[in-house]
Structure 1
Amino acid sequence: MQRLSPPTGILHGTEHLFALRVYYEDTDLSGIAYHANYLRWFERARSDLLRLLGVDQRAAAEDGTGTYAVSELSIRYLAPARLDDAVLVRTRTLQSGAASVRLIQQAWLQLDAGTGDADDRMLAEAQVRVGFVGPGGRPVRQPAGWRAAFQSFIAPEVSP
């Protein structure tokens, strides 16, 4: 039997793209995605981004180097996702410091081209700060290679 790989996102320029589908378990009684699921979707996308950047979270946790932990999160909900919707999570790095990384994550409804509605719609947007913490839970410097990976992933600022 052929082995299937888990779904994974892609790096596209200075963005990470992670596609998912809204399942029954993601919804409330009205068929609308429950608000907390956006946090799960954003977490999955961040984990996949780290994997694609060459960050081995599991090894770092097991060898006592440390782990990333969300230290700040602000989310704005703009429109509901519904059962069976295709959602695209877009992640960009805003800033990478010695012990933390600031990201922006957006969930977009991917509309079916057959509907005549050509524009996707943003469902939610989150500003996230993740800090790198040592085994004792205190902030520590993230490994130099990891910081460099995030630095290379920051979109250049556009001048007006």
Structure 2
Amino acid sequence: MILVLLLVSMGLGFANKSNKTNAESKIKSLSTELAAQTDLNSRLLSNLKQLQSESDRLLKERQTISELNVKYKSNLDRIQNQLASELDSIQTLRQTENETVRNWIDTDVPADVIGMLKYARSESDHSNGNQAGAAASRLPAAMPGK
């Protein structure tokens, strides 16, 4: 019986040793997995911060573009209203019954004036692309003999 108890006790010792080895192996495996998950968590958190920063930048850019579009629309409306007003004024002048205004409208611009305006236009280019005599290019050519 002592032999049986000795054998059982040795078997239990081997079983305990085997269980201890299995437990240590399992702990090591879980520790490695925990480290990998912690590293993945850190990388994902970093990526999330970068994405949030990019999102904030894009929202700010969208707001700026929206403000520029509002200003553009406002300026365009103002310019279109001013153009309509000027065209109305021109139409009113064309239809006037005032003899002085009618004579002024019907008078041709002298060729010398047109030549001076064209010369001023070609000599006065500005760095911003505007030309002081740009209106001269829209003047009709003077009729010969006038």
If you compute each CA radius of gyration, which structure gives the higher value, 1 or 2? 2
Please state which structure has a larger fraction of its residues in strand: 1
Query: TM-score when scaled to structure 1?
Result: 0.18
Please state which structure has a larger fraction of its residues in helix: 2
